[in-house]
Amino acid sequence: METTNLNIRTNKEVKLAAEKIFEELGLNMTTAINIFLRQTIRENGIPFDLKLNIPNNITISALEEGRKLAFDKTVKGYTNMDDLKAALDA
């Protein structure tokens, strides 16, 4: 199999963090990049979801409800796990 060089530029901290993870997995950077490239070919696209971090309507509603509850003085709050567990068991 003939090989070729691939030169990429990335942030130094990103490279170091990725290398640390790859090392823990028993991989080097070249092997990890080759895995990504082969999986891209197998999937015929990027092998993971690319999404904008925009919450859906259910998440937005849950966040709004949480904010209302957090500032509603009539809502019972708990300062420790034992009291919370007792309330849940009741």
Domain boundaries, the chain: 8-90
- Of 74 and 90, the structure prediction assigns the larger pLDDT to 74
Residue 57: predicted pLDDT: 92
What does the alpha-carbon distance between residue 86 and residue 90 come to, in Å, rounded to a whole number?
6
The first and second tokens of residue 79, run together, are: 């300062």
Residue 63: predicted pLDDT: 93
> In the chain, how long is the greatest CA-to-CA distance?
71
The first and second tokens of residue 6, run together, are: 């691939």
The first and second tokens of residue 31, run together, are: 């092997």
Q: What is the pLDDT of residues 15-73, one digit of tens each?
A: 999 999 999 999 999 999 999 999 999 999 999 988 888 889 999 999 999 999 888 88
pTM for the complete prediction? 0.56
Place of tokens 């942030």: 11
